[in-house]
Amino acid sequence: MSLVARRAINALWLTVSENPDLEHYDIELGYFKWLAKFETSNNVAHLKKALRECQSSSVQVSVERKGGGDPQWVSVPLLGSVGIAGGRVVFKVDEMIRRQLKDPKRYTYLSLRMSAALSQYAYILYERLGALRFMGTTNWLPIEEVRKWVNADAVKSLTEYKQFKRLVLDKNIAQINELTDLYVEYETKTAQGSRRVAAIRFKLRDNAEGKLVLDFAQPHELKDLYETLVKGFGLSTRQINEIISNREVNTDERIRAAIELVRYRVKVGGVKSPGAYLMTAIKEGWALSEMEREAAFGSPAEAVPSKPMVPVAEIEFARNLERDIEEGLAIFASMTDDERLAVLDGLYKETTFQMAARRQKVKARPDEAAIMARKALKVELAQYVKRQAEEQKAA
């Protein structure tokens, strides 16, 4: 599933988990977009495509028999019927899934929180490295292979290792370590007789101190933030969509800092329109000054660092990655049987595919059906096909 589809289904499932006994659900479209961090807020066609992808994907559910014995196995679509009309999303979710969602400890909201909290490239690294966690320490991987994981090889400004290290590795691994249940360290080595970094090795371990791990039992933060904006400050659907459309910059932290600022300035007077003032504060990245913070809370506090603008290069390759995966799968689907077999032969030789296959506990040369049934392997296939197509085009 694409990142957009994953966020969509997790947002819908969060709604279901709040009242899992209903047969159908009806939520505001703007609220759904907010939960799913749907950036292209006016692109309804893109949203419909993501929902159809949710419908075409399935989950395997084991149902325990009352009298004991082997559990029943059922494959259930992630999303039933769904419609968008009158600014609402109306949908159904199979009873089997609703039953699983009754207990938040059985189905945690960690995936929702991670897909929403992590940048797209950090999420990709998290999934890639999470699949290798069992190894403890990975093999030495060619640096070019790791570039391809996040499609950095397609961005000219990231071809230099120094920039790749700063914008991709260091920043996003720090985010993974801060937020998730995975802790990542890495070391590099240079090519023989050269100072050029040629290979990288990751050290992986469980991280019980990740912020999302520590507070995953509080799944309603996005919901609460949305209600603060809509009910507390009276923001309109247009204003909410304006925030969503630039979510790379308008992070949760930036929004909360702006809310804190506006609440204080409303309290001391001088703000006639809190909603409009809040929109300006979010747009400009305003936060309480040290003097205001001391006046508001009675004691000096550490300054909250302003959120830096996201580099254009990061936004560029993040947006291109999901599109490339979709294009790779489309190219593969258009091939003849013989062409697909030839592609699979080449794919089996890829180091990253071999590691992913071991993690998925499948045979070294899984067939097409086995690959398509496993997200990690399907992503490997899509990226491999896309690279091959670009190489053939350049030749």
Domains 3-103 and 117-214 agree in fold? yes
DSSP assignment, residue 246? Answer: T
Closest C-alpha among 193, 176, 88, 191 to residue 128: 176
Q: What is the predicted pLDDT for the residue at 173? A: 95
3-state secondary structure of 394: helix
Q: What is the predicted pLDDT for the residue at 303? A: 45
| Rounded CA separation 219/215 (Å) | 8
Q: What is the predicted pLDDT for the residue at 311? A: 44
Closest C-alpha among 114, 123, 112 to residue 172: 123
Q: What is the predicted pLDDT for the residue at 301? A: 46
pLDDT below 50 — which residues of the chain? 105-110, 112, 215-219, 301-318
3-state secondary structure of 18: helix
- Domain boundaries along the sequence of the chain: 3-103, 117-214, 335-394
**For residues 54 and 73, is the Cβ–Cβ distance under 8 A?**
no
Q: What is the predicted pLDDT for the residue at 344? A: 92
Q: How far is CA 203 from the centre of its chain?
A: 22
**Any idea which architecture 3-103 has in CATH?**
Orthogonal Bundle (1.10)
**Any idea which architecture 117-214 has in CATH?**
Orthogonal Bundle (1.10)
| Rounded CA separation 157/121 (Å) | 16
Helix, strand and coil in the chain, % to nearest 5? 55, 10, 30
**For residues 120 and 322, is the Cβ–Cβ distance under 8 A?**
yes
- CA-CA-CA-CA torsion sign (25, 30, 35, 38): positive
Residue at 38: amino acid letter: F
Closest C-alpha among 113, 86, 87 to residue 33: 87
pLDDT per residue as tens digits for the range 238-251: 898 889 888 878 88
Range 186-211 burial, b when 16+ CB lie within 10 A, else e: beeeeeeeeeeeebbebebeebeebe
**For residues 360 and 374, is the Cβ–Cβ distance under 8 A?**
yes
| Rounded CA separation 144/128 (Å) | 15
pLDDT per residue as tens digits for the range 110-144: 454 555 567 777 888 887 898 888 889 999 999 99
